[in-house]
Structure formats: C-alpha cells, structure tokens
C-alpha cells in the first residue's frame, strides 16, 4: 500500500491555505454597513420570516376577524340596541386591540433568537449594535399594518361608515401603528429578561388584557362605576381608542392626538435605552 510523503502533504496544505487567502483578499475590504443599511437588513429579515412561515400571521389576520364578528354580533344588540350602530362605536377599538396584541410578538421573536444563540452571532458582526433591535421592531410594523388593514376592510364590508373619510381612517391607522411601535419596545425589554418565548407571550398578554378590556374599547366610560371609570380615564389605551375613534368619525381634537403622541414618545424614550442596555450587557 502506497503512502503520500509528509512533506508533500504539508506543501499541499500550505498551497491551499495560500490560495484561500488570495481568494479572500482578492478585492478591497467592503465598507462598514451604515446604520440605515443595517436596520433595513434586519427589518427585511423579519419580513422574510413571515414569508417563509406565513402561519405567523394568524394573530394578525384571523384573530381580528373573530373579535370583530364576535363582539359586534354578540353584544351589539344588548349594548347599543343594534349591531350596525354598535359597529360604528366598536370598530376603532377593535382596530387598537388587534394591532396592540401583535406587539407581543416583538418580544417573543427576540427571546427566540436569544435562546437559539442567534443574538450572539449578531453581537459579533461589525455593525451598529442596536441595529438588530431597531430593524426587528421596524419590520414588525408590517404585521401592525396587516392587522389594522384586516379590521378596516372587514368593518367596511359589515357597514362601518367613517365620517372622517379616507384621510381620517388612514390617520387613525397611522396613529395606532405609531403607538404600537412605542409599545413594542416594552416587550423587547421583556424578551431580554424572560427565559423562554412562552414566558414572554404569557406575561405580555397578562399585561395587555387588563389595559385593553378596562378601557373604552367596548363600552362608554359613562356607564362604568366611579372607581373603574377613574382607571379607564387614565389608561393610555383609552386615550388611543378615543383619538382613533375621533379621527375615523371626523371629530378628533388636537389635544387627544397630542396626548397619544406624547405617551408614544415616553414609551420610546424609556424603553429604547433600557432595551439597548440589556442587549449590550447580555
């Protein structure tokens, strides 16, 4: 049996190593990705995940349909006297509810990347450190747009008549998505603290359910007991529903919209630095 001399094997190894180095260094070093390019790449990554696993959109498509139909036809007659009249009142609230529920996914997706070691790879890349966070949250805005669009289209099919016209509906949708962007940072913080995606999901919905249901989404605050009404009046979700309802019906005040914008800015200012700090320490 013949054998290859060790000197020949060593020369082959050195030759292949030199060829690899020449191939890698054949061109100039690519420039460092800019902040915008890095964020855009991670936003596109989030949208690609939706394309490859479309089942992720169940919460943004089927759930809004179920809530709209269920609440309109189960409680419309009892609360407003007719389903058509109740639809005019409840649809902006369902819009807010459907979009806000999808924000929990931001924390779940981040925690999933952490538990699988993907975040460790992101930290080793030569790019702006918060880019994976900003890009991911920005990419999730597509989910918010889909959820909101489903509610609006279904509402129009059922007979919703927005007196604010197309501009009012678009303004309400934009305001809700903007608030959802700020709220998503709360759940990204949660995603960095919790140990599993299920824990993030359960905790997120436990926090959202009281805020959404103890608001003016389904009933007017004038019908509530004084203690409950006091909480509902200071609930940020109530402020968002009021502004969205006013924009859709053409009677929103500037103060209502500015209040929501201020709360959105406060959420972003508090939780973006907190999330970034936790991400860097991890």
**Is 182 a domain residue?**
yes
**Is 19 a domain residue?**
no
Neighbouring C-alpha atoms within 13 Å toward the C-beta of 32: 7
**Is 40 a domain residue?**
yes
**Is 172 a domain residue?**
yes
**Is 233 a domain residue?**
yes
Nearest to 280 by CA among 74, 130, 110: 130
Is residue 71 within 8 A of residue 218, CB to CB? The reply is yes
Q: Could you give the number of structural domains in the chain?
A: 1
CA distance 221 to 89: 13
**Is 243 a domain residue?**
yes
pTM value is 0.84
Domain that holds residue 251: 34-281
Is residue 100 within 8 A of residue 140, CB to CB? The reply is no
Residuewise pLDDT in 10s, the chain (282 residues): 445 455 555 555 555 666 666 666 556 666 777 778 878 888 888 777 777 667 667 777 888 899 899 999 988 888 878 888 999 999 999 999 999 999 998 899 888 888 888 877 877 777 787 888 888 888 888 889 999 999 999 999 999 999 989 999 999 999 999 999 999 999 999 999 998 999 999 999 999 999 999 999 998 888 888 888 899 999 999 999 999 999 999 998 899 999 999 999 999 999 999 998 888 876
**Is 69 a domain residue?**
yes
Dihedral angle sign, alpha carbons of residues 53, 55, 57, 61: positive
CA distance 44 to 58: 20
CA distance 265 to 267: 6
Q: Please report, for residues 22, 110, 186, the alpha-carbon distance to residue 208 in angstroms, rounded to integers and kept in the order given.
A: 56, 18, 11
CA distance 64 to 67: 5
């Amino acid at each position: 049996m013949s054998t290859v001399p060790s000197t020949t094997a060593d020369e082959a190894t050195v030759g292949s190593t030199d060829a690899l180095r020449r191939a890698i260094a054949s061109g100039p070093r690519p420039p460092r990705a800019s902040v915008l390019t890095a964020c855009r790449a991670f936003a596109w990554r989030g949208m690609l995940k939706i394309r490859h696993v479309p089942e992720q959109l169940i919460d943004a498509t089927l759930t809004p349909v179920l809530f709209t139909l269920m609440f309109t036809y189960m409680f419309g007659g009892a609360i407003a006297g007719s389903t058509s009249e109740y639809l005019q009142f409840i649809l902006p609230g369902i819009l807010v509810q459907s979009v806000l529920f999808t924000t929990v996914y931001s924390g779940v997706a981040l925690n999933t990347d952490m538990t699988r070691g993907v975040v460790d790879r992101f930290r080793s890349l030569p790019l702006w450190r918060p880019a994976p966070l900003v890009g991911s949250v920005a990419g999730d805005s597509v989910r918010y747009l889909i959820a909101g669009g489903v509610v609006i289209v279904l509402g129009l099919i059922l007979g919703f008549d927005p007196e604010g016209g197309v501009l009012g509906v678009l303004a309400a949708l934009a305001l809700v998505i903007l608030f959802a962007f700020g709220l998503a940072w709360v759940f990204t913080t949660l995603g960095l603290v919790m140990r599993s995606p299920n824990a993030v999901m359960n905790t997120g919905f436990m926090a959202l359910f009281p805020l959404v249901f103890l608001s003016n989404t389904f009933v007017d605050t004038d019908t509530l007991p004084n203690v409950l009404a006091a909480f509902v009046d200071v609930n940020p979700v109530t402020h968002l529903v009021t502004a969205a309802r006013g924009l859709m019906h053409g009677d929103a005040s500037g103060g209502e919209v500015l209040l929501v914008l201020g709360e959105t800015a406060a959420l972003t200012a508090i939780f973006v630095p907190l999330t970034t700090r936790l991400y860097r320490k991890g």
